[in-house]
Structure 1
């Protein structure tokens, strides 16, 4: 019995060691891969949505072959993988690192574009407002950062293939930022905080003079001045409004309609 037990124990141990060898080989399957092979496998993982695995392979590539085009491309792909994974902090860190290390790289324009995409935030639109959210609690920092990144791309690389899309996104972001200031101004106006309402309306008008929100921002400014009893400033704002929006009826009808989504509330 004792001998049989020893034999069985030895057999189990041999299987255990063999298993360790199998799994060890699996972990180190990329040990002898060339830079080209590592890059191809990492790209396949990225394309299939295996972002963690792709990052691991790109990092191995950069570590084993730190010099040359593959290492630089791996750094770029790592930033993109983090972006696709939704890891904003890691993605931005990877972008900043690439730009710092390779400011003259042929594809550095893409990294400026990616920086804008990472921060791009389109949740300041229609559904945020109809959901009756308090926009004063929303932080537009990411929106501003996105705008700045796209602007830097457009200035530095006006002929980049990414610049037209960046400019289109900038237009959206300008409107979103102006709309944000407008809704904050309206929030203060509804609460009779006229000084705060006037300041925020002025901010929208001054910072984003071509945005569609300026028309309503001027109306808020007029109402705020009226609430404070500042007749001259109110009348000056009215003249500016009439001059810029001669066909508008917004001033006469402002505040008279209830938002459609509140009809049943």
Structure 2
């Protein structure tokens, strides 16, 4: 994952010469090349906090230099490598606001997306970071569709969608087990409606059948089972739904007036 961000980050300082000492007197103005190369040395030595401070010093001492914007971006990268994601996002937001036309703007958005993506929590926990990662990953895809960052962002988008659907499934299963069927239906419907390309849809459809049967809403149960059988005929979840219905002398049956048919289309 970090190989892609490192490729550009290491390429940024090309064109500067000179070697710098790790010792830096405070508030002493120094040549931009000396400062920048020192920061790069610190970064490569994995002194990430110190590198970020030195990159910030490049911008402070030489705000109108062509290297000031590069230093802003590299400071964000140093924070990212140090898992200081909040500082990385703040630095990237500032870079994006100040330099919307910069040649490295796609990289900035991508690094911001990664800063959220790497904070994605277990599906049993709050998914705020997952939603933020999805939003910025989508921005990368929409704004920079032909870049290598967009290609990677598309893959990660699929994973975030699956993760969000998984979180809904955890809550839905909990409500189903507790007999809170309406609350469970709400969660499973969200998976079926909002995350149709994820791996969780077959189970969500089956759980809807279970919840509808528990409530005695047999028409919706049969219609949902019909959609499940049409789209996932070989799924174990369809086998379970089919058994549940036939065990009560019922069969999957389409219903064009059902919400599930409107979302997934009429089954034949």
TM-score with structure 1 length normalisation? 0.78
1:31 and 2:16 are equivalent in the alignment: no
- Which structure 2 residues correspond to residues 54-203 of structure 1 after superposition, within 5 A? 54-121=51-118, 135=124, 138-203=125-190
Cα deviation, residue 30, structure 1:
8.2
DSSP-derived class of the 2:161 partner? helix
Write out the 4+ residue segments of structure 1 that deviate beyond 6 Å after TM superposition: none
**Deviation sequence 1:209-230 (CA, Å, 0-9, x none):** 1111100010111111111111
* Secondary structure class of the residue paired with 1:109: helix
Please tell me whether residue 50 in structure 1 is matched to residue 47 in structure 2. Answer: yes
Deviations 1:147-189 (A, max 9, x none): 1111101110111221111111111111111111122211211
The partner residue of 1:211 within 183, 189, 198 is 198
Shift of residue 121 of structure 1?
A: 3.9
Deviations 1:23-76 (A, max 9, x none): xxx551783531011111101111111111111211111111001321000110
Contact 2:120–2:130, Cα closer than 8 Å, also in 1: no
Larger radius of gyration between Structure 1 and Structure 2? 1
Unaligned residue ranges in structure 1 (runs of 5+): 1-25, 130-134, 255-265
Q: Give the distance between the partners of 2:171 and 2:112, measured in 1 at CA.
A: 27
Q: Indicate how the Cα distance of structure 1 residues 27 and 68 shifts in structure 2: closer, same or farther if over 3 A, else same.
A: closer
Aligned residues: 220
